[in-house]
Amino acid sequence: MPQHFPRCQIVPLAAHQVSIQIDGEEKLRWNAGRDYPRPFFFPFNGPSGHSLTRIGHPGAPNHDHHQSVWFAHNKVLGIDFWANTSLATIRQKEWLVYEDGEEQAILAMLLTWHDGHEPKPLLEQEVIAIVRPGPGKGETLLELQNEFRPTAESLEFQQTNFGFLAVRVAKSIAEHFGGGQLTNSEGLVGEKDASGKPNIFGKPARWMDYSGPVPGGKTEGITYFDHPSNFSYPSSWHVREDGWMGCSVCMRRPVATTKKEPLRLRFLLHAHSGAADVDRSNRVANEFGSWPRFEIVRSSKKHQHYETRVTGQTGDR
């Protein structure tokens, strides 16, 4: 029987590593081993095949928790799930779905958040990662749909700049260490203005872009999109000239998640060619706002426990 190889594929590698590939090329990799306090995506490759992210800060050893693209939060019931100095950990309990396809590949996993003392986790995080070819040649779209479910009746994520989805760009793309530039949806450029006052930092925006030089004399970058269904949209952003950006959904206020109404957050990362392009990013943002939300359901297919299903909704407020 002739075999069909979908354009977008999920390829498990060693234990706790999964390669996500488009047209036979690895675009990113999910790492869920226990040698780090939490899982993360690395590399996240641009169109030229070079990673647009890195592990750790180029000049600060106390920032080794900056693991390329990762989930974390600084204050969960007063517990630090952000820094590596904390006993708190985030672990992958199980993978749920590997789905290949012509238009997209879907990787879904269940994560558990542990305070470092009690064996029972504080909460579960269901992640659905949808990887699609981007609008330009060799570009990649990584959508991350998250549902946070407490093991108690409710749980509060406290006010902080740090959480939930963090991105550390490659050294060459950072404004300070390389030749890169921060740009947001409101037309602002750079972490600070000419006088040294905050420019982009702390300001609300629909998306944030970090672009700069990569090997081979090219310019590439990552545009990071907030979703209209997120409770803080348009969220404030924690960004730094040293190569860091995060959509700080709890910068202005805390948020609770309950068993009855779990917190849902959606984000999109676009690995693109060229410098920041406002028109391109606005088009992608508009498309992202209309994409449906997925859910994990029991599968009736033979030898398959779960599958994804479109809910018909773009999100929840």
pLDDT of residue 283: 98
Residues 6+ apart with CB under 8 A from 20: 8, 9, 10, 11, 26, 27, 28, 29, 30, 105, 107, 129, 131
Q: Is residue 209 part of a domain?
A: yes
Residue 224 belongs to some domain of the structure: yes
Q: Tell me: the pLDDT tens digits for 246-285?
A: 999 999 999 999 999 999 999 999 999 999 999 999 999 9
Q: Evaluate whether 116 touches 86 at the Cβ level (below 8 Å).
A: yes
pLDDT of residue 118: 83
Which residue do the tokens 């990071």 mark?
A: 224
**Percent over 90 (pLDDT), the chain:** 90
- Residue 195 belongs to a domain: yes
pLDDT of 315 higher than 60 = no
Domain that holds residue 139: 44-310
The pLDDT of residue 26: 98
Q: What percentage of the chain reaches a pLDDT higher than 70?
A: 97
Calculate mean pLDDT across residues 222-248.
97
Q: What is the pLDDT of residue 135?
A: 96
Residue 178 belongs to a domain = yes
The reply to whether 19 falls in a domain is no
Residue 171 falls inside a structural domain: yes
Rounded Cα–Cα distance for residues 70 and 14 (Å): 20
Residue 112 tokens read as: 């558990």
Domain-embedded: residue 126: yes
- Residue 313 has a pLDDT of 67
Residue 32 domain-assigned?
no
In the chain, the number of structural domains is: 1
User: Is 317 a residue whose pLDDT tops 50?
Assistant: no
Does the pLDDT value for residue 293 go beyond 50?
A: yes
* Average pLDDT, rounded, for the chain: 95
pLDDT tens per residue across span 128-178: 999 999 999 999 999 999 999 999 999 999 999 999 999 999 999 999 999
